Structure 1
Amino acid sequence: MSNGKTANGTTYESTRDSSLPKESGNDSNSVSLEADRLRAEVMQLKTAEADARIQLSVSQNNEKHARQEAMQLRSRLEQMEARYTTMEKLRDVDRNSLSQLEKKYAELMNRKNDVERELMDERKARKED
């Protein structure tokens, strides 16, 4: 039996029967195999961590790109809405102008008809004289 201290200061007792023969060859071989296994596991974990970091970076870049695209689309939508509003106002102005021109045209046609009637009346009056 041997006593020892852990890193945090607590003591522990190891119970190894000293009468058993030491298997130093087997122990060192199994320790070596365990160390190799742990190294391989650490490598796998590091690779998995690196892959996860790459995926995170790609996801962050994709999110950033999506936000930029959304901002551009929002800006484009606002521009198009402003153009639409302007076009509606211009259409209303054109409708009003067209309505006024149609009224003016109708008035001119009435005046023309009146003048033509007067002219015909004057011609008839001259012929009768």
Structure 2
Amino acid sequence: MSNGKTANGTTFESARDSSLAKENGHDSSSISMEAERLRAEVMQLKTAEADARIQLSVSQNNEKHARQEAAQLRSRLEQMEARFATMEKLRDVDRSSLSQLEKKYAELMNRKNDVERELMDERKARKEDGGKR
């Protein structure tokens, strides 16, 4: 049975529709069962939609967290690269300083050897002078 409205707004039931339902084998209990099946299907779809929304929310939160973590890692990488560059510069300065110190040490060792040779020559000369007198 279906309800309809007339031009003046009053409601009527179509007898043709109710007899058609009976002819097609649709009685009220089968219609009720079909309605229940459809309600259950709608509830199942609503549950699936809710689950999908929750899953979407979790995925969005995971993506947000991953983006934040990526930003933190990028920042940490930049800091480490800057620190590495600073360490390389310091290493170059240390190498330069070491090279200069090694040159200065070699010069000092040469000077020490020269002074020791002069001292030995002077001692030798004194001995020779002392022995002749």
> Match for 2:108: what amino acid?
L
CA distance in 1, matches of 2:35, 2:59: 35
The residue that corresponds to 1:78 in the other structure is 78
**Secondary structure of residue in 1 paired with 2:82:** helix
- Cα deviations across residues 25-78 of structure 1 (Å, max 9, x unaligned)? x62111111110111011000000001001100100110111011001100100
> Match for 1:67: what amino acid?
R
Q: Evaluate the alpha carbon distance shift between residue 30 and residue 123 of structure 1 in structure 2; reply closer, same or farther with a 3 A threshold.
A: same
Q: Evaluate the alpha carbon distance shift between residue 18 and residue 92 of structure 1 in structure 2; reply closer, same or farther with a 3 A threshold.
A: closer
- Counting aligned pairs with the same residue, the percent is 92
Q: Evaluate the alpha carbon distance shift between residue 125 and residue 34 of structure 1 in structure 2; reply closer, same or farther with a 3 A threshold.
A: same
Q: TM-score, normalised by structure 2?
A: 0.79
Q: TM-score, normalised by structure 1?
A: 0.81
The residue that corresponds to 1:42 in the other structure is 42
The residue that corresponds to 2:117 in the other structure is 117
CA distance in 1, matches of 2:39, 2:123: 122
Matches within 5 A, 1:1-129: 16=16, 27-129=27-129
- Cα deviations across residues 6-29 of structure 1 (Å, max 9, x unaligned)? xxxxxxxx9x59988x57xx6211
Higher helix share: 2
> Match for 1:104: what amino acid?
K
CA distance in 1, matches of 2:126, 2:68: 85
CA distance in 2, matches of 1:50, 1:19: 40
Name structure 1 gaps, 5 residues minimum: 6-13
CA-atom RMSD in angstroms:
2.4
CA positional deviation for 1:115: 0.3
The residue that corresponds to 2:10 in the other structure is none
Name structure 2 gaps, 5 residues minimum: 6-13
- Cα deviations across residues 57-106 of structure 1 (Å, max 9, x unaligned)? 01001101110110011001000000000000000000000000000000
In the TM superposition, structure 1's runs of 4+ consecutive aligned residues that sit over 3 Å from their partners are: 16-20
